[in-house]
Chain A
Amino acid sequence: MLEIRDLHASVTEDGREILKGLNLRAQAGEVHAIMGPNGSGKSTLANVIAGRETYEVTQGDVLLDGESLVELDPEERAHKGVFLAFQYPVEIPGVSNTYFLRASVNALREARGEPEMGSAEFLKMMREKVKLLGLSDDMLQRSVNEGFSGGEKKRNEIFQMAVLEPRLCVLDETDSGLDIDALQVVANGVNALRTPDRAFVIVTHYQRLLNFIVPDFVHVLMNGRIVRSGGRELALELENQGYGWLEAEVAAGSQA
């Protein structure tokens, strides 16, 4: 489903290169975890997939089902089924969650040539998703993320994901700032959305999220490249030993 080939990306403003030849393939139904030390380019990767304009792709390609995303606007990527769960979800005072989600759902439907969803049908769907994720209704009436706790913001991201039903879900440090209970709620949400036709790319600094969302593949990102890929055991190894040994190995390898 997702294929990233030799991706180079820089900060648009100052031209600083962050991703330096990154390769990744993810099939439908798979969960891929991207781990790495701070500053390795994890969040940049997530944002580049979603089309954030603060980064510029200078080389390589990001393909969804063989079609390049690189030249597409963020909304066009969303129409094709890309979703980014933000590390820092944005507060939008003055706009209710319900309005926001309905406008988003209908924007997606419009782009796909489907009829607009009526309010009764929409509310029914919202109620189902609230139930599926074990959330509370009052969240829907509140302004988007305004005054939400860290945990509520992350849950709201997962809720949006459930409502918009993307095919490729990219989670950017969804576990950061969460206590263990909140982490579990978020993980349960993600697990409820795991389907054979959906792929996940989960960016995380810590292994602990992967205790709850068990990945099929783990990749280690360092200095803008994936330096090691493996199964779940790779994450556990990183948890026990940190990133230092891998950094040393990579350094030795590049000198050899």
Chain B
Amino acid sequence: MSHDRKRYGDTTLGNQEPSANEPAWLNELRASGREVHGRLGIPTPRHEDWKYTPLREVAETDWSPAEPGPALFEEPLPEFDSGAVRIVMVNGRLDRNLSNPGPLPGGLRIASIRDEIHSGNDAVLRSTLGRTGPKPTQTFDRQIVPDEHTFAALNDTLFEDGLVVYVAEGAKVDPLIEIVHVSHGGPEPSLVVPRILIVAEAGSRCKLVETYVTRGNGPSLTVPVTEVVVRTGADVEHVRLQDEDAGALHIANWQTAQESGSTYTSFNVCFGGRLARVDQGIWIGGAGTRTRLDGVVVANGDQHMDNHTRLDHAFPSGESFEIYKQIADDRAHVVFNGKIFVHQDAQKTDAKQTNQALLLAPGAVVDSKPQLEIFADDVKCTHGATVGQLEDLPLFYLRSRGMPRNRAEAVLVYAFAADVLEEITIEPVRKALEARLFEKLAVASR
């Protein structure tokens, strides 16, 4: 092994050897992760899917696996609802002291991935972990194949612990399930590998919020993988908030598999990080599903926020609605890439995708790429993308009521994004996110 400076384009992160103590299914998952990450490495801009994502720093830094974090944090961690089932993870590990699950409602089980594996209680993990992605299907002239995700593969090889949220068949879980993940950078650059699995069994219902923050001063790269399985007729509302510090690097993979008649309502809220990328995939693996995948992205300073979504309608009569609202100020760069595949069998699909971006400064950049590929003939699919500045008429309207121009602009920018947050039905989460949006945009100080 040479110890030369790492070179962008010729790098992988982590090279874990197989462990004799792990079950066979996990060895397989890790082996496949090693193969994929070893082959793809850290992508360069020459790779179409990574064209806009600047990964030089990721590739050239010597990352060490994050140590367990401190027992307590000076700055309080976010909390949306005091009545929630509250789970705190620090550097990928479930933290029992900071968590406060309370008495768990019937049908809800929360466990650490490490415990499940060590206790041999790993049937759910074995059958679902790493298996939530799209399945290949054949059209009349080509095959639609899953994407390979090099960072998800890295997570496969490295995760040591993580969280399993299991909602039993028919269980209606009323309290909010609140998952807070803290990346705590040490003096050395820390690689954090969180893993979360959520399984909602047939006919069950739950609401979750998954939040990523950073504490500590050291540099951190967080590479989370969240997998969600929404079985027949189940109903899951899932809010993901990435609110890490302005120096943090965050490259996430979020994959959901829906079965027939299920409902999955998701919100991807991106406020933090210096480089933040989320690849969200939803596999529609049954008929008659309802899906929402919305995004609110607010970037300023030198932030780079990059969101790639892929929705696979593989079965008939699925309804999906996707709206991404992105705001870029200062020198920020936001990227949206939204793929929708309507597979050959997915007749009567009704899919709507909208992507709107607001550019607030001459140095801000937006790249937007909707991509619909339709292989069924009886479907309704629409998409629209707009990039622009604030409109003249609403601005005049507010100013004519006495609001100074800068305040009126701030209110309209807020409204542009809050319009999506309004759709969140978990009221304490919606209110907290609206307040955080207000603060992020510094509406009050303008």
Measuring CB to CB, which residues of chain A are less than 8 angstroms from any residue of chain B? 50-54, 73-75, 77-79, 83-84, 86, 89-90, 92-95, 100, 103-105, 107-108, 111, 143, 160, 164
Contacts and interface: CB of A to CB of B under 8 A. Distances in A.
Given A94-B422, A164-B402, A74 B396 contact: yes
A92 B394 contact: yes
B422 A90 contact: no
B251 to A, nearest CB: 30
B404 A107 contact: yes
Given A54-B392, A90-B394, A107-B407, A164 B401 contact: yes
A94 B414 contact: yes
18 contacts: A50-B400, A51-B399, A54-B392, A74-B396, A75-B400, A75-B403, A79-B402, A86-B397, A90-B394, A92-B415, A93-B415, A93-B419, A95-B415, A100-B401, A107-B401, A107-B403, A143-B422, A160-B401
A103 B411 contact: yes
Contact of A78 (B400, B412, B415): B400
Given A53-B392, A54-B392, A74-B396, A95 B411 contact: yes
Given A51-B399, A77-B400, 10 more contacts: A74-B399, A75-B408, A78-B400, A78-B401, A90-B393, A90-B397, A92-B412, A103-B411, A104-B402, A164-B402
B80 interface: no
Contact of A95 (B393, B414, B421): B414
Chain B, interface SS category:
helix
A111 B402 CA distance: 9
B381 interface: no
A86 B397 CA distance: 8
Contact of A94 (B399, B402, B407, B415): B415
* Contact-residue size bin, chain B (C-beta under 8 Å from the other chain): 20 to 34
Contacts of A51: 399-400
B85 to A, nearest CB: 30
Nearest to B434: A94
Contacts of A79: 402
Nearest to A108: B402
Contacts of A111: 402
Contact of B404 (A75, A84, A89, A92): A75
From B399, B411, B412, B419, name the one whose CB has the most chain A CB atoms within 10 angstroms: B399
Contact of A75 (B402, B417, B422): B402
Nearest to A111: B402
Contact of B397 (A53, A54, A89, A143): A89
Contacts of A78: 399-402
Contacts of A74: 396, 399-400
Given A54-B392, A90-B393, A95 B401 contact: no
